[in-house]
């Protein structure tokens, strides 16, 4: 039997980018642990399909279309959350995009695009959650914010410069907001989660990128090189590996953690 400290029973969670990959896995994992989950995604049809599936399995899940780079959309989603439930305990800032390539070949428009999604969404989500979760806020019972960063926010990786820059910013914003919220007594913990190479649509873009920048002759060669030479555990991660780590950060089991960075990478950054 799972220790009650890991349970999310009675908690309300908003998970962005929940239409597929890590976000969808988090939605399923959190719902299975007892949370009421609002799953948001820019692709409304995709997240609606996930919600129908989970509701059909007996879980409390609501889907909503959500452009995480737009302030007005965040206000609308938080209003919808308030109409649905009288509490908000967990935010998983998961939505993001990947743009690779050599730094000298990246365009300024690419930088603006990836910043606009990977950083703006974290800023907006954290800001709206802080306003709503703090003692004088709309929900007022504190909470846990989990910001999805990456190992590219911790170490240098060829072909990842602008992506890594956004994920490094996520790591730094997490630490500053965590300390600030603790200092002001908000009762809100903020931690960053740093996946390694995960078997998702976005994860497989890394192999394509390694070919395009000339580090491998094929995507299969790139995958073998990374698994055999750079990941001590010798395999890609699964979305469930990240979802369970997010559940830990969302739960009372991590009640003394804030401003922390949790790395789940098969040993990649340990070498």
User: Which uninterrupted H or E stretch holds 14?
Assistant: strand 12-15
Distance CA 201, CA 51 (A): 20
Together in a domain, 181 and 217: no
Together in a domain, 66 and 116: yes
Verify whether residue 98 is a known catalytic residue.
no
SS3 at position 31: helix
Structure confidence by residue, pLDDT tens digits, 63-110: 999 999 999 999 999 999 999 999 999 999 999 999 999 999 999 999
Distance CA 221, CA 27 (A): 33
Together in a domain, 189 and 207: no
Number of other CB atoms surrounding residue 185 within 10 Å: 10
Structure confidence by residue, pLDDT tens digits, 204-247: 999 999 999 999 999 999 999 999 999 999 999 999 999 999 99
Residue 204 near residue 23, CB atoms below 8 Å = no
Domains identified in the chain, total number: 2
- Closest by CA to 214, choosing from 151, 156, 158, is 158
Q: How confident is the model at residue 4 (pLDDT cuts 50, 70, 90)?
A: confident
What is the domain range of residue 222? 197-236
Together in a domain, 28 and 122: yes
Together in a domain, 172 and 223: no
Choosing from 163, 186, 204, 256, the catalytic residue is 163
Together in a domain, 116 and 208: no
Together in a domain, 26 and 75: yes
CATH number of the domain that 77 lies in?
3.40.50.720
Distance CA 144, CA 26 (A): 14
Together in a domain, 41 and 141: yes
Residue 8 near residue 247, CB atoms below 8 Å = yes
Q: Indicate whether 136 belongs to any domain.
A: yes
Distance CA 216, CA 195 (A): 22
Structure confidence by residue, pLDDT tens digits, 104-153: 999 999 999 999 999 999 999 999 999 999 999 999 999 999 999 999 99
Q: Indicate whether 203 belongs to any domain.
A: yes
Together in a domain, 223 and 122: no
């Amino acid at each position: 039997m799972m220790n009650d400290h890991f349970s999310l029973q009675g908690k309300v969670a908003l998970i962005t980018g929940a239409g597929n990959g890590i976000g969808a896995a988090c939605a399923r994992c959190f719902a299975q642990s007892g949370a009421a989950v609002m799953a948001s995604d820019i692709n409304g049809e995709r997240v609606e399909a996930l919600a129908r599936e989970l509701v059909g399995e007996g879980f409390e899940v609501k889907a909503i279309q959500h452009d995480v780079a737009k302030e007005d959309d965040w206000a609308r989603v938080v209003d919808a959350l308030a109409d649905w439930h009288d509490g908000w305990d967990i935010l998983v800032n998961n939505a993001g995009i990947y743009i690779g390539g050599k730094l000298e070949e990246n365009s300024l428009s690419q930088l603006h695009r990836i910043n606009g999604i990977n950083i703006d969404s974290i800023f907006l989500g954290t800001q709206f959650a802080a306003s709503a979760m703090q003692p004088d806020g709309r929900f007022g019972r504190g909470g846990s914010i989990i910001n999805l960063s990456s190992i590219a926010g911790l170490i240098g990786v060829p072909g990842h410069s602008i992506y890594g820059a956004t994920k490094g910013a996520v790591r730094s914003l997490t630490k500053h907001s965590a300390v600030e919220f603790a200092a002001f007594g908000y009762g809100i913990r903020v931690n960053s989660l740093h996946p390694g190479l995960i078997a998702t649509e976005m994860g497989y873009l890394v192999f394509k990128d390694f070919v395009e920048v000339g580090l491998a002759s094929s995507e299969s060669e790139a995958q073998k090189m990374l698994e055999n030479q750079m990941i001590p555990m010798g395999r890609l991660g699964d979305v469930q590996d990240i979802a369970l780590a997010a559940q830990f950060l969302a739960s009372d089991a991590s009640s003394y953690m804030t401003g922390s960075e949790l790395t789940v990478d098969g040993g990649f950054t340990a070498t």
